[in-house]
Amino acid sequence: MHTMRLLGKFLGYLHFSPYRVTDALPSNVMYSQLATRKYHKPPLDVAELLIESVKNNKIILTVPWVIEFLSMMDPIALTIEHYIKALQILTDIYRWEHFRAIPTESILFVRLIIGWLFDVLEYPKKYEVLIKPESFEYHKNLESCGVDFLAVVDKQLIRSCCPYLIEFRVLIYNFLNGIKNRNREIRKITPLSTKIEKTNSASVIKKQLNIQLEDNFFSYHPPSVKKTTEFVADRMASKTIGKIRSEVTELKLNVVKNIMSNKQFSSMYASNALLQIDAVIDDNVLHVYNEFQNKLHDFIKAIHKNIENTLPLLLSDDTKPVVLDICTKVAYRLAADKTADWIDSNLLLDPIKSDIKNKLFHLKKYEVESK
C-alpha cells in the first residue's frame, strides 16, 4: 500500500511539475495552456481506473495511489474536464451508501484520504463538485468477493497513511489524563460573569482543552485566518468597551443630577452630615448599578451579531461555512472574555460611588462659592 501511494505521488510529480509555477500566470497564458492541455491525452485515464475499481471491487487498492497522484495537480489541471470527472467519482465513492458489506476499517480509510484530498486542493470550485449527482451508475447488487471485502486495512495502516489523526489521539489523551500540552500556550479564560466563582479542576481542564482545540484548528489554516479572527475580536471588544464606558459615564451624570436636585442633599451638605450623604449616594447608585448589570449581558450578546456581520467580509470568499462558523465562535469568545475582564476590573461599585461623591462635592463647592 505504501509503495503504491509513493509511486502514485511520484508519477503525479513527474506529470504536473512542469506546469507548476510560483507566481500567478497571466490570464492569456492560462487560457492558452488550458486550450492546449484539453486535447493532451493524460498518461493515465484516472477516471476510468476508478470506475473499473468499483466494478471489480478493488477500491481499496486503487483509490489510495490515485489520491496521491491527484494531490500533485497544478491549478490549471483542476479545470480540465478529465480530472474534474475523477474528482466527481471520488466524491461519489465518498458518499456511496453501498459500503455496508465492506469492513469498517476500509470504509474509514477510503473516506479519510478522499476528505484529505479535497482539503489540500487549491480549487475554488470544489464545492460545486460535491453537490453534483452521481457521475455514473454503480452496481447495486455487489457480490461479496474481491479485495474490498477482505480485512486488508487495519488501524496501524490507517495511522501510518493518515498521520494527521495523531492530533485526535493527543487531544483525547490530554483530556482523559488532565495533562496539558506543554508545547502550547495555555491562555487564561476570564469568565463572562462579573461574580467570582470557584472553578473546579474539571472546568479548568475543559477550558484548556477548548484553547488547545482552537490552536489546533488554526494550525490547519493559513495564518491570515487566525490573525483576522483575533483582529475582529479585538475591535469588537474595544467597540463594546467604549459603549459601556459611555453608558457608565452617562449614568453617573444622571445620578449626580438627581442628587443635586434633592433639597435634602443641600441641607446635609450645609450641616456636613457625611454619613447621611453616603446613605443617599448608596441608595441612588445601588439602584442604577443593579439595572446596569442586566444591560451588560445585552452588550455581550450584541458582540456575536456584530462578529457574524463583520467576519465574513474580511475572510476570503472561498472560506468554508464550517470554518467561518468556528472562527465566529472563537472571535466571540475572545471578545467576550476581553470585555468581561474589563468589566471585572473597572465596573466596581465602590469606585463608582467614590467618583460620584467627589463629583457632587466639587459641584456643590463650586455652587456655594459662586453665590
Q: Which amino acid is at 171?
A: L
Burial class (CB in 10 A: 0-12, 13-18, 19+), 131: exposed
CA distance 312 to 63: 35
Per-residue pLDDT tens for 199-217? Answer: 456 677 777 888 888 888 8
Q: Which residue has the cell 470504509?
A: 107
pLDDT, position 67: 92
pLDDT, position 200: 53
Other Cβ atoms less than 10 A from the Cβ of 115: the count is: 12
Share of the chain above pLDDT 90, in %: 8
Retrieve residue 206's grid coordinates: 475543559
Q: How far is CA 363 from the centre of its chain?
A: 51
- Tell me the pLDDT band of 103, cut-offs 50, 70 and 90: confident
pLDDT, position 347: 78
pLDDT, position 370: 66
What's 187's DSSP letter?
-
Per-residue pLDDT tens for 34-86? Answer: 787 877 778 888 988 988 888 888 888 999 999 999 988 887 888 888 888 88
Tell me if the pTM is above 0.75.
no
CA distance 104 to 91: 18
